[in-house]
Structure 1
Amino acid sequence: MRLCLLGDSIAAGVGSTRREDTLGPLLAQHLRGLGHRIDLQVRAFPGARSADLRAQVRAAGAVDVAVVVIGANDLTRFVPPEVGAQQLHDAVADLRAAGAEVVVATAPDLSVVAHVPPALRDVVSAASRQYAEAQQRAVIRAGGVVAHVERAVTPRFAADPSLFAGDRFHPSAAGYRAIAEALAPAVEVVAARI
């Protein structure tokens, strides 16, 4: 099974000191444990926004399962939700047209990041939620599957600083394990279709 990670620094694994503690290898290991033979590639890169997905999709070539993690950089650069959601829709539609199953983790709730001033946390949380909701509608419309990672991990990241790397923005190895656990059920479902 050809598994590909697309998206931003979280999909790329920034913050972890060991490659095997990042999303791609963790998800590949999980699927191998279910009996799948996995060929993993990671096309994600730090700083990527939804506008970068089309090029990542082209670079990936033929894949069976694509996992997309995108939205944080769109939020920090004030990309309007409808613009980023349409770009995500188009990438998911292209992947689906090429025969790939697609799982998307929508924008995280950036209000849990330590750099966000307490007075702005409610505003940042609302903006994050609005962006994620626009993404969810776009992914479903394009035939992808939404993994509600933010619902599962936001309370954990808010309560446990050890889930953040030293930069207090990206996940640590423990944070990546938490995200992978939240992604795994949706990835399992689509992998069973292959």
Structure 2
Amino acid sequence: MDRSALRLLVLGDSLGSGTGAARPADALGPRLARALGEGGFDVDLHVLAVPGAVSAGLADQVRRALPLSADLAVVVIGANDLARFVPAEQAATALAAAVTALRAVGTDVVVVPAPDMSMVPFVPPALRALVRGACAVLQQRQSDVALTGGATVAPVAAEVARAFSADPALFSADRFHPSSAGYARIAEVLTPFVLAAARARRDDAAA
């Protein structure tokens, strides 16, 4: 591993691993790494996200992450907690533990709260308000524990939902996961938060 590079981890679920992207390079992690590269960083990327993971699964991912002594971790989690009706408090507690463990070894963390699942095409229109409300509850609890644990929160769910609702091509063929174009849109709105965290870490190291 190049110790001079910014060591970037992506933890979480299928959104973090890139399910639905046509090519590995189109997934979220590689897109964020390229954006950081364009921002002047050499990046050493490790994608530890696991498709289907709920927040409780972050514990195993963090155990794999700790030996890497990463500079920055992006945690994308919550969709499967919602799909499997995991209580928001239970999911948030697991996220809090992951953030605490990463911060304890000096890794900066950007948490991407759960997506707004009401945008998924097969959610019946009559249920979308209910689904949106459940998502908002989890997003708020995730944001609270992330901030308390010293992480940065990237509140991109609403902007992503508007984009996906307006353009069906942002979904892959399964009409659930993003397509390559969808990942491009997610990376676009997420990049400013990740880049800001990387720059803040660099500035702190230089001070």
The alignment's TM-score, normalised by the length of structure 2, stands at 0.92
Partner SS for 1:96: helix
After superposition, the C-alpha distances for 1:156-177 in whole angstroms (9 at most, x for unaligned) are 1111100000000000011101
Would the aligned equivalents of 1:2 and 1:40 in 2 still touch at CA under 8 Å? yes
CA distance in 2, matches of 1:35, 1:18: 24
Q: Look up the match of 1:39.
A: 44
Q: The residue matched to 1:189 in structure 2 has which SS? A: helix
Residue by residue over 1:111-145, the C-alpha shift from the partner in whole angstroms, topping out at 9 and shown as x without a partner, is 11011111111100100111111100010011000
Paired with 1:111 and 1:98, the residues of 2 have a C-alpha distance of: 36
Asked if residue 29 in structure 1 is aligned to residue 26 in structure 2, the reply is no
Pairwise CA RMSD of aligned residues?
0.7
1:51-130 correspondence runs (5 A): 51-60=56-65, 61=67, 62-130=69-137
Contact persistence 1:148–1:182 (CA under 8 A): no
Listed one character per residue, the Cα deviations across residues 88-110 of structure 1 (whole Å, up to 9, x for unaligned) are 01101110111011001100010
**Aligned with 1:103: secondary structure?**
strand
Q: 2: CA distance between counterparts of 1:32 and 1:55?
A: 28
Amino acid at match of 1:72: A
Percent of residue pairs bearing the same amino acid type: 52
Alpha-carbon offset, residue 190 of structure 1: 1.1
Question: Is the aligned partner of 1:166 residue 2:202?
Answer: no
Hey, which bits of structure 1, 4+ residues long, moved more than 3 A? Answer: none
Structure 2 residue matching 1:108: 3-state secondary structure: coil
Partner secondary structure for residue 178 of structure 2: coil
- Which of 15, 18, 23 matches 1:18? 23
Q: How far did residue 151 of structure 1 move?
A: 2.2
Structure number with bigger Rg:
2
Q: Any stretches of 5+ residues in structure 1 without a counterpart? A: none
Cα deviation, residue 78, structure 1: 0.5
